[in-house]
Amino acid sequence: MKIICIGRNYTKHIEELENEKPTDPVVFMKPDTAILLKKQPFFIPDFSGDVHHEVEVLVKINKVGKYIDRKFAHKYYDQIGLGIDFTARDMQSKLKEKGLPWEKAKAFDGSAVVGKWLPKEKINDVNNIEFRLLKNDEIVQEGNTSHMLWKIDELIEYVSKYFTLKIGDIIFTGTPAGVGKVIANDRLKGFIDNEELFSITIK
């Protein structure tokens, strides 16, 4: 399986990192080895002194597809989740400055938290999902998928032009504002509405 990630999909997050608003979705990948194993803590890697949390709504693909029209995109996923795209921001900034790929800063082992999945039927409207991240029991990120620049079905249309989507692939749909540094002993909890979908400790 592969993990396809979208960057700069919420205006306020683009502003907080002083990035330019893209004309097309920003896309990058993480390998399957990036997935943080269940019930394991997240270990801050020694190559970074500034790892940030980015909470994101996840979509799990359940059907093979290529050149998927946005009208039919809803047929290609039946589970929605929540996760974290951990980012070594110091390293990413250096790579961005030089125009180099981001993988070392974004795709390292443990950098993809994948929480519990919810059946799509349980969600009234995928374009109106309320989600949030708590750090040490305080809300640090809050989002709603209605604020996405590219909605889930448009993202599926866009990424499937380049990559065949396969069963089990996961799309990270971008983070809202409020990204920030994690330190040892922090505890991160992610919620969609009032349902806790992950809880992890930083080491």
Residue 115 Cβ, how far from Mg ion at the closest point, in Å?
Answer: 15
User: With binding defined as CB under 5 A, does residue 175 bind Mg ion?
Assistant: yes
In this chain, which stretch among 11-19, 21-29, 48-56, 192-200 interacts with Mg ion, using CB under 5 A? 48-56
Residues 172 and 3: their CA atoms lie apart, in Å, by: 7
Residue among 26 and 123 whose Cβ is closer to Mg ion: 26
How far the first Cα of the chain sits from its last, in Å, is: 27
β strands within the chain, DSSP E: 3-7, 26-30, 51-53, 55-61, 77-85, 87-88, 112-114, 118-119, 130-135, 138-144, 170-172, 180-181, 187-192, 195-201
For residue 76, give the DSSP letter: G
Nearest residue to Mg ion by CB is 85
Q: Per-residue contact track with Mg ion, 58 to 97, x per CB under 5 A?
A: ---------------------------x------------
54 binds Mg ion (CB under 5 A): yes
Closest approach, Cβ 155 to Mg ion, in A, equals 13
